[in-house]
Amino acid sequence: MKVLVAVKRVADYNVKVRPKSDGTAPDLNNVKMSINPFCEIAVEEAVRLKEAGTATEVVVVSLGDKACQEQIRTALALGADRGIQVDTDAELQPLAIAKLLKAVVDKEQPDLVIMGKQSIDGDNNQTGQMLAALAGLPQGTFASEVKIEGGKANVTREIDGGLQTVALNLPAIVTTDLRLNEPRYASLPNIMKAKKKPMDVLTADELGVEVAPRLTTVKVEPPAERAAGIKVEDVAALVDKLKNEAKVI
């Protein structure tokens, strides 16, 4: 069984990102970049499937300029077998990403696609669902457990009321939630081995996909600073302020 994993290059989750002075975009100069945390969970799940003997090959794909090869190599060091970079300098939005991934899926014909439920930069939570719709494949989103049995993927997913388990005919799309697993750290020997693992480079033109952005960012600004709280002497004073100052009751 071949598993395809999508990974995205984002600012490290420990970094406090600030907007540029002109407010056009986040300032990523000299900022540490990493694999999106949800994508890292997806890589870990694919590697575990391989270690269990369920998967025979794990292929990692990332979209972007040459810099994203760093994240592909990290995924290879975590246990993936080979990488694919779709080289583009365009600002990639969810629909364009889904179309590029669909073209890769058509080319690779994986039995299972695992990807993060969302990226921590855009927070759109759209790409997995769009890819499933474009590819005409069943989807299991917000997965907290994945089991492959009898040609089906049994996915336990987190919903508002608790947990829901769905059985998906393979091939299928699965998006990962935080509780699916805890990603491992890459060892130094595996980091060295990852440098020799194969990586293909494709372009959007080769895949026949138009990636021009459909949305325009008007402005990027930090959230408003939270005002300091106050202490009140009794419940009557609290009710008075909620009613007359905050005007919430």
Confidence of residue 246 (pLDDT cuts 50, 70, 90): confident
Going by pLDDT thresholds of 50, 70 and 90, the confidence category of residue 248 is: confident
In tens, the pLDDT along 200-212 reads 999 999 999 999 9
Q: Which of left, alpha, beta for 11 (phi over 0: left; psi -120 to 50: alpha)? A: beta
Task: Please check whether the domain covering 2-244 is classified as CATH 3.40.50.620.
Answer: yes
Pick 228 or 179 by higher pLDDT: 179
- pLDDT tens, position by position, 57-116: 999 999 999 999 999 999 999 999 999 999 999 999 999 999 999 999 999 999 999 999
In the 8-state DSSP scheme, what is residue 225?
P
User: In which band, very low, low, confident or very high, does the pLDDT at 224 lie, cut at 50, 70 and 90?
Assistant: confident
Q: Hey, what are 238's tokens?
A: 């609290």
pLDDT at 38 over 90: yes
Tokens representing 76 are 């290879």
CA distance 228 to 235: 19
E strand segments, 73-212? 82-87, 112-116, 139-149, 152-159, 162-169, 172-176, 199-203
Q: Which two tokens mark 136?
A: 């005409």
Cα distances (Å, whole numbers) of residue 46 to 16, 42, 89, 188, 232? 30, 6, 28, 20, 54
CA distances 68 to 9, 24, 33, 152, 243, Å, are 6, 22, 9, 32, 53
Hey, where are the domains in the chain? Answer: 2-244
Over residues 204-228, the mean pLDDT reads 90
CA dihedral 150, 113, 36, 91 (to 10 degrees): -170
Element (H, E) at 6: strand 2-6
Q: Across residues 171-197, what is the average pLDDT? A: 95
